[in-house]
Structure 1
């Protein structure tokens, strides 16, 4: 028999494109349109309703970038539609509103969007490029009166992810309108034609994924050919039902018993900011959620999972009527809060306490608002996953974790889809990667086949989760996706798709896979490595805010307990929520438009000012009145006679005494009791001698404090990526314009050397000082480069097989060699306040106050001897999505501490980030509220309980990676001490941390990196 497969498939494609997709609506009639353009930022419906609207013609341009136009649509349903609406049986034709705001070929969420409002202020539904209808319950002769809030959001990438664009900033985006209102019609949806379209889409998608020799593929093609013959292209309305009959048998063939099972869960993954500002995210949420509620009204089986408590909070504040409807669906179990975090945050860079607070704030919000406690972590799109996350998640009551981002790896394929993930302390969490490799599935044939094909656990388990719905920029599930799910529920050749919930999936997955494999340690994303460095000001603001929050809570708690001062709970909660929002995985990583990052910088400035005020108020209560100088130390370790978490009177001599600086030939020598540092005429450190150990740290023939500039042009995602080829081109900044010793007020010199350099259009000033046994380097940069990467290099004369990097509540080890493809792909890594490299008996710490990106590698000195090179990534200058990223002035502090072990590294990290404060007062000792007698057990947070009881919450962790016993003593009256989870609830797992309690003291026994939260009842 002749093979006509190709011709039949071609015939089918043309029929679908030219006939079927354009014939869904039987009749259309335009509405009358008037418009009002909002002069500036969006306004509420009530304000828009009161404005004067002017006539607006279909086909006219509207909307300067980022503006809002309100359209008022009015018209009468034609009387002549009575026959169509009622003559063909109930449901054969449906009346709908159709609006085309000028949608482009770009997907939903990346261009114009709209919201349809009733005249009485009810948000009815969103308008998206592939979902721009509203079902209407009106009859012929009735009048339709609706409002459309149209957002002129520009297509920022415009098909590219590297080209500079002015569209990311309202000030540079232009004032010309960028859209055209193409349609505002009443229309009659032909249900038979629409259903036929869904039949064909499902079968065609499946057919194209089956092998060419598959009998099932041939069967589907023959059925589709029969349908083509039965349908009259000139009378689709009259023959669509006949065409559907030709497909009944092929659609009814049941799936194979062994077919993969997909739990389809509606989803939208709305980025809380990215290629749009936060204010637009608020509206995106409202539009998407109204879409979902509209679907739920039409279909009782629809479920929708939504994370990010922040997005619910926005609805409560700005859309209370919509929020009420959401709450009702939550009570029904159909609109499902998931994740339990305030936002879907980055997990690489937030500090330990901040990451814990993501879960505290998010989970508590869901409990308070809905009586619901999510049991899964929901982070489909974050750029890698810290090894601290399993413990933090489990300590907040989570049992499961979902992500799919690791499927983006550029080198190695992750070996599992369902597995146990073990963190730094050994805590495990049941984890799933949807094998469909997307959080925005459309439930098409290609995606379903991919999920079944890629599933790594075949033969051991057979279920995976399918998050479906338009995401990133919002939109959510559509009726077409639901139709696809129903047609593939039990279809031969396809996986079995079931409309489900996250809870149902995880319950089944864990039951069918009782002994899954284990992945231990961080889940490093082999991609988006530039996000550790891009938009430095955002990262600096985050680090500063985290430490100021620690101080504010500590001193406010002390002031309340010691003096009875009011505790600023509401202010702290509000500030925490703002900081947590800005840890969203496209804000803190530096991958958003200019608008987002300029706003983040302003927010951080406000946060700093408000926290400084709270700290000042609390310290005023603690210090009392007087003119004595008092030093306050919020760090967990004593500093220069000042107790940890407390304060002491100090004299006028407080400061880095005993350090000298002297010229030495053409260079300079800095010296104190611990270190001798030689700086050559280039401003490079050619010798760093540890006087205590009598050991040289800088390898012979090499230099530290070396600033290096690389060409930084990644292949794809500009702000996101650093590609390995950046190392091919480097320029050492080894010329100094000026080197001077900086005098103090008495004309003497201190151990501070000032080095000035110039590179391209940029200037760099460094200040070197010896402080507390460390060489501290302050780098001030006026940065005006493009697509350049600035690194600060420290070659260190140790043969380190591994580098130790601080992460949340501990640290991890990474190889310095590149023996495997996994090691080689990890050429840029993240660390928090410090990294450490060493060999038996000796080590060196390199610390910072606002840097996250590092590369640490084994190398050779000029004589061929093994050494280790530590480099901090200081600044980048990507062009997209913010063409002015990182331009301007920056101040970064680094330190290198010779002779350091891990404990010294931990201390150095806190020293760099929590400077001692000096205030005036009575001079009395400010005694710490709590103490630990073991420095390995670090007190990370001291605060009052969230429930307003006045109890003191103390969070601590084991910091060195070993077993530790510590007595935690409270310096206030205590009635009881209880171990709690992160939400400050008594732990019921019998962890055995508390071994004895007496007189306000408790002894804790901690395992390596264990987090412990104690509640001291007063």
Structure 2
């Protein structure tokens, strides 16, 4: 029996490969092909349809990297094919690689109507079924010659192909056969039968009777095939398989809900402008497939991608919109893009849902209850309450299955965030967002499912993704055969909401996971492409300011509120938070354009802020200080007095005995030794030293950085095994009120300015790095004299705690983690924060000192990396960072974190002061946004949250222009919740009682 099994399996593989699949197209006829290549960027469809072409023959190279060519394809169906099914098989030069990473095309009719997309696993176009003979074929194919960045078969190699400026113009592809062909549907069905049964057979246990039943049927089917005349005998072979295909699944079989899917990266190994066309090709394919397959359902997330086809390909969008109305094409996720969720700030994460959900509501009248993030690199602990505040209650992802150290213990569970919000969460056990309905994938989903015995359902996103392509007719055919097949999980097409409804109903009390969903992989995405990250942070801060000051100017000075401009800029910033842009894992082209975009965004937002502040200040010479602090939004206290001696009000350094300098403002005394390192930061009020004895802070440390794979994505734990402290000083001196430190290392140079401002317990460290290292990791270390078993790092609308120890593999795996504006370590009653204006990655470790038995907790900010794939010039050049060492409680960390990112602005004018629109009387309650309502009603919208992790009672004072007694609670989309909202505590104020980290959005109508 053993020999029979191996012989049949080997026989099946060869007969399929060499005889049955080649018989799919028994008759072919050549098509005439001509080509026109655009001289530069892609052209509108109308131009491509009429451009002059020249003949091109099979075997001819074509397509410069990132180029666009238009193929004219013509031909006539032979008369003798009448009554047959005819397709065109169009090979642009495809390689065996999966779709989305090479050339691809979109077929058009002569009038410009889209027909369908082409890729290596979907290269056919149906001509007729049946044909009458003599039909004329006339198509134009817009083809993209995208370079295959891994074409050599060795991934993660530096390449100049990642930017059009360095890619050259050598042809990337060779035109393959372009032919009309008779399609034998019986042979195609036989292929599907044999593939499904062969794949199922391979997954069943050797001793399984079902396996041997299938094997015998396959053997009989192969006997029934005449290898010299497959087409005439295909039906006889199918008849031999009918019995085993009809055997139903057992009642306890795992249930898989298949949803058509094409996770399209909005940018990655291709630029943004190419994704616009990837989406058009994929959605054209999916709407065409729906016409052939009545049960097929397709889901697509990312409102930005719908908006692209609406703008650039309205004829494709019309097809999509009809399919949405028919319930076959499902907008899902409710976000502007599938963003990173670790690094986007509080308001940005909220606006991902605001703009995404609003687009789906306005365009389709649909509101998704599911957040859809299959490929995002881990999930911040603040996300559940944002999802709930946006009116959603579910989450799908599978990325945590990529974790390398620990296996996540659930596939269906409740995820609890920092404020106690819980959302129903599902990880597809198929462990892929590119399911192809292969037997091993279906078996893996069933066997892998963690909730056996208490739940029976999982979801399988089915189709080619990353670079697009979507679901194929082969996948649909396999799903049909797996609908109710003995030995297999059952499969049925369902929209995501249908799956979640059924999953929740059968599993009403799932387990709870509390805190972040940390991905034990791709940790270096918190640091790669520092300029992109700085651009994001600055844009978020400027948007917060622009909304605040524009709203204040609209109310106080009658300046028109820039609704359209802010909407457009928010969407631009949100787009660049996509999970391969903000994380720094895209090609050079993407990040070059991101830097240019952030510069334009910054200039426009500065203009909005300046216009508003000038209007508020009026004409005059009085100096006003415009303060965007989170407790008094819109507050502009009267200014005029010059700052005390020293730049920006900082104290002047004085020499230190033994070399170096001392900075002392009466609150904090900082000693900087002759190496330019901070050896003391003494908190006078607490009587505490911040820096661990015998240690030095502001210590730059350089490590080798060559991960096992995924260069821009990963940093592996072994990087910590070697490295060096950068303690050599090229120059040390005083510059204004700052201590200036210069260092040279390798091919790079660092200049730091250290200062202590008057009246604030804070050491400011401004760092400029001219970085020219390769495969190195630069850290900034602060060894602190604090015994902390855990530490706080800011996340959206609060902070999350992580352990400093490594008791288990779960703690060990978090050797690089994300923070927003601060990391804070403390003992009861006292602590120290490291705040920043542009960095996200960090690590925290602890050691016990032999000399005194005390504990040193070291916080290290990650500054720069130098991976070479996919951008070989990653981070080369000049970078600026601002960090601060802040002794104090979590309240001090919150305050100084905001201050580092929202600096005061000084404007001259006639006004003595401008009253704020809103103020809050409690430090624990932070105002994250002040804006006018998006519906242009003139209502004021205020978003705030409890920031310290405890209960808070506060009063929100509101400008006279608004009726505080009518303030209502809303969701993030500014829609009133069922709760009528807080009652006014008095004229012009609202009383607030908040739970730890509670997020509240208030809408205040005009009085």
Alignment TM-score, normalising by the size of structure 2: 0.98
Contact 2:659 2:674 in 1 (8 A): yes
Contact 1:161 1:718 in 2 (8 A): no
Give the unaligned 5+ runs of structure 2: none
Cα distance between partner residues in 1 of 2:172 and 2:277: 20
Give the unaligned 5+ runs of structure 1: 87-92, 744-749
Residue 378 of structure 1 deviates from its aligned partner by 0.3
Query: Residue 973 of structure 2 aligns with which residue?
Result: 983
Q: Deviations over 1:384-425 (max 9, x none)?
A: 001111100011110211001001111111011111111000
Q: Deviations over 1:99-136 (max 9, x none)?
A: 11111121100111011011001111000110011111
Query: Residue 868 of structure 2 aligns with which residue?
Result: 879
Contact 1:419 1:430 in 2 (8 A): yes
Query: Residue 483 of structure 2 aligns with which residue?
Result: 489
Residue 47 of structure 1 deviates from its aligned partner by 1.1
Query: Residue 139 of structure 1 aligns with which residue?
Result: 132
Cα distance between partner residues in 1 of 2:219 and 2:619: 91
Cα distance between partner residues in 2 of 1:282 and 1:365: 17
Cα distance between partner residues in 1 of 2:197 and 2:622: 82
Query: Residue 449 of structure 2 aligns with which residue?
Result: 455
Alignment of 1:639-654 (within 5 A): 645-653=635-643
Contact 2:95 2:120 in 1 (8 A): yes
* SS, match of residue 401 in structure 2: helix
Contact 1:838 1:844 in 2 (8 A): yes
Calculate the aligned-residue CA RMSD, in Å. 1.3
Contact 1:993 1:1005 in 2 (8 A): no
Residue 663 of structure 1 deviates from its aligned partner by 2.1
Query: Residue 886 of structure 2 aligns with which residue?
Result: 897
Cα distance between partner residues in 1 of 2:874 and 2:23: 47
Q: Deviations over 1:210-242 (max 9, x none)?
A: 011111111111111101100011111111111
Q: Deviations over 1:307-331 (max 9, x none)?
A: 0000000011001111111111111
Q: Deviations over 1:876-914 (max 9, x none)?
A: 11111001000000000100012x101010001001101
Alignment of 1:345-364 (within 5 A): 345-364=339-358
Alignment of 1:923-942 (within 5 A): 923-942=911-930
Contact 1:637 1:644 in 2 (8 A): no
Contact 2:650 2:755 in 1 (8 A): no
Cα distance between partner residues in 1 of 2:506 and 2:364: 31
Query: Residue 662 of structure 1 aligns with which residue?
Result: 654
- Does the C-alpha gap of structure 1 residues 658 and 384 become closer, same or farther in structure 2, counting only changes over 3 Å? closer
Query: Residue 795 of structure 2 aligns with which residue?
Result: 807
Residue 862 of structure 1 deviates from its aligned partner by 5.9
Contact 2:224 2:236 in 1 (8 A): yes
Residue 249 of structure 1 deviates from its aligned partner by 0.2
* SS, match of residue 646 in structure 1: coil
Contact 1:974 1:999 in 2 (8 A): no
Cα distance between partner residues in 1 of 2:31 and 2:134: 14
Query: Residue 54 of structure 1 aligns with which residue?
Result: 54
Q: Deviations over 1:983-1004 (max 9, x none)?
A: 100111x3x8614454231111
Residue 807 of structure 1 deviates from its aligned partner by 0.4
Residue 804 of structure 1 deviates from its aligned partner by 0.6
* Pick aligned residue for 2:376 from 382, 395, 399: 382
Cα distance between partner residues in 2 of 1:663 and 1:965: 47
Cα distance between partner residues in 2 of 1:77 and 1:2: 49
- Does the C-alpha gap of structure 1 residues 38 and 656 become closer, same or farther in structure 2, counting only changes over 3 Å? closer
Cα distance between partner residues in 1 of 2:115 and 2:729: 65
Query: Residue 90 of structure 1 aligns with which residue?
Result: none
Alignment of 1:224-373 (within 5 A): 224-373=218-367
Cα distance between partner residues in 1 of 2:814 and 2:634: 36
Cα distance between partner residues in 2 of 1:228 and 1:1000: 84
Alignment of 1:774-789 (within 5 A): 774-789=762-777
Residue 28 of structure 1 deviates from its aligned partner by 1.2
Q: Deviations over 1:811-850 (max 9, x none)?
A: 0111100001100000101000001011122200110000
Cα distance between partner residues in 1 of 2:113 and 2:498: 33
Residue 656 of structure 1 deviates from its aligned partner by 4.3
Residue 518 of structure 1 deviates from its aligned partner by 0.5
Query: Residue 608 of structure 2 aligns with which residue?
Result: 614
Residue 467 of structure 1 deviates from its aligned partner by 0.7
* Pick aligned residue for 1:207 from 201, 212, 217: 201
- Does the C-alpha gap of structure 1 residues 598 and 216 become closer, same or farther in structure 2, counting only changes over 3 Å? same
Cα distance between partner residues in 2 of 1:923 and 1:559: 13
* SS, match of residue 421 in structure 1: strand
Query: Residue 156 of structure 1 aligns with which residue?
Result: 149
Query: Residue 515 of structure 2 aligns with which residue?
Result: 521
Query: Residue 947 of structure 1 aligns with which residue?
Result: 935
Residue 564 of structure 1 deviates from its aligned partner by 1.3
Query: Residue 747 of structure 1 aligns with which residue?
Result: none
Quick check: 1:917 aligned with 2:925? Answer: no
* SS, match of residue 23 in structure 1: helix
Cα distance between partner residues in 1 of 2:933 and 2:177: 56
Quick check: 1:543 aligned with 2:541? Answer: no
Query: Residue 1008 of structure 1 aligns with which residue?
Result: 996
Cα distance between partner residues in 1 of 2:522 and 2:815: 12
* SS, match of residue 287 in structure 2: helix
Q: Deviations over 1:227-261 (max 9, x none)?
A: 11000111111111111001000100110110000
* Pick aligned residue for 2:95 from 96, 104, 108: 104
Contact 2:785 2:854 in 1 (8 A): no
Q: Which moved more, 1:943-952 or 1:919-928?
A: 919-928
Quick check: 1:581 aligned with 2:567? Answer: no
Query: Residue 435 of structure 1 aligns with which residue?
Result: 429
Q: Which moved more, 1:160-169 or 1:23-32?
A: 160-169
* SS, match of residue 22 in structure 2: coil
Quick check: 1:767 aligned with 2:753? Answer: yes
* SS, match of residue 872 in structure 2: coil
Cα distance between partner residues in 2 of 1:637 and 1:778: 26
Contact 2:631 2:921 in 1 (8 A): no
Cα distance between partner residues in 1 of 2:618 and 2:227: 88
* Pick aligned residue for 2:170 from 173, 176, 200: 176
Q: Which moved more, 1:769-778 or 1:884-893?
A: 769-778
Residue 651 of structure 1 deviates from its aligned partner by 1.9
* SS, match of residue 425 in structure 2: strand
Query: Residue 746 of structure 1 aligns with which residue?
Result: none
* SS, match of residue 188 in structure 2: helix
* Pick aligned residue for 1:683 from 671, 676, 681: 676
Query: Residue 420 of structure 2 aligns with which residue?
Result: 426
Residue 162 of structure 1 deviates from its aligned partner by 2.5
Contact 1:977 1:1000 in 2 (8 A): no
Contact 1:77 1:143 in 2 (8 A): yes
Quick check: 1:837 aligned with 2:825? Answer: yes
* SS, match of residue 903 in structure 2: coil
Alignment of 1:615-630 (within 5 A): 615-630=609-624
Quick check: 1:858 aligned with 2:834? Answer: no
* SS, match of residue 312 in structure 1: helix
Residue 660 of structure 1 deviates from its aligned partner by 2.4
Quick check: 1:753 aligned with 2:744? Answer: no
Cα distance between partner residues in 2 of 1:217 and 1:456: 25
Contact 1:995 1:1005 in 2 (8 A): no
Q: Which moved more, 1:667-676 or 1:704-713?
A: 667-676
Query: Residue 5 of structure 1 aligns with which residue?
Result: 5
Q: Deviations over 1:42-81 (max 9, x none)?
A: 1111011232111111210000110011010111111222
* SS, match of residue 554 in structure 1: helix
Cα distance between partner residues in 2 of 1:592 and 1:924: 49
Cα distance between partner residues in 1 of 2:74 and 2:690: 79
Cα distance between partner residues in 1 of 2:558 and 2:62: 59
Cα distance between partner residues in 1 of 2:721 and 2:816: 15
Cα distance between partner residues in 2 of 1:267 and 1:486: 17
Q: Deviations over 1:558-592 (max 9, x none)?
A: 01111111000000000000000000001000000
